[in-house]
Structure 1
């Protein structure tokens, strides 16, 4: 939001009342108010309460209690303006995004929308004692693949630094959903959103690692790419 300071400028008009300029008088014009922009433009920000990545086994809780967010605009708490979307089915395995958004309009009538997401991994079995992290070699897309790290970011959740194994640098987070199932929920990337949940994509554990076909917003589906643990 742009801070505005208001300045009042009084305009004096010189009116010549005699055609030869023998005498003249001042006419005072109405006050004119100009708005001058000062200060900084403020955009809303959203901070998650609790963890961004959550995992629990289907049927182990009666309902999902979301911890919510705190939204601020400068020093002002605007959490009551946050809109929350997304439902979590605690009895059905899957990854459920919970999206928080807030829209503000500044004094220049410019609209700003900020969003944040939490991902809830409802699993078919307990996966919190399993750790898939390690170094993996991805083949099937790159002609000269190099091993890429897969790191655990939360119980049941992992991050890979290169989803194609080709040096493209597309980082993404995915979940172990139980059994052989892996899910990469829709998330932003440098070439458009990426996921393994669009039509024609999949992700599964294998005996030696995992395999997936990924969707990249700019270009469509890529794969299958086989990742072998080193």
Structure 2
């Protein structure tokens, strides 16, 4: 698995993402600056990490979604290449047209930073094979604009085609109410593209890969990718 981690002005999670990928794959990922126009030859996986790209000006991810490197990312995804966006990376994927919908301000208008339970909705994808369908995992969230919104037709398509990857839930896997930290429609925490080769999610699995850091529930995502 040859991975490339994109770096934008204001990114701050590329180091954590690189560590998670290195631990899972045994290989050092390439760090790709936003102004480059090509991905490294042979790239299997492109990762857009969290942070505050371009200071979140205009909208979160709006400027990064139009960065020079994004044409290469779109071409990579169109060929079926694996693409992962976490937190700000999810926002960039939406702004760049690789995923539908938009991430809005949290419903309570506050930045939310806490541990959060998620329910795994699919365990048959390149991103989730090391989980079980319906499994409840606990990872970290840290965002002010994580409220996933889309029109009714898009939501119906995501649900009908099984493109919801993760939902916010409580420790028992129950969705709704206080288990939803930001007001996302249908408790959506992450979604797939139509071909399920692109995944965007707001929570940070890279935070939970080491028992010394509080848990390993995020490790399954990276182990799934390493085995893809």
* TM superposition score category, shorter chain reference: under 0.3
* Larger RCO of the pair (alpha carbons < 8 Å, separation 6+): 2
The structure carrying a bigger strand percent of its residues is 1
Q: Which has the larger radius of gyration?
A: 1
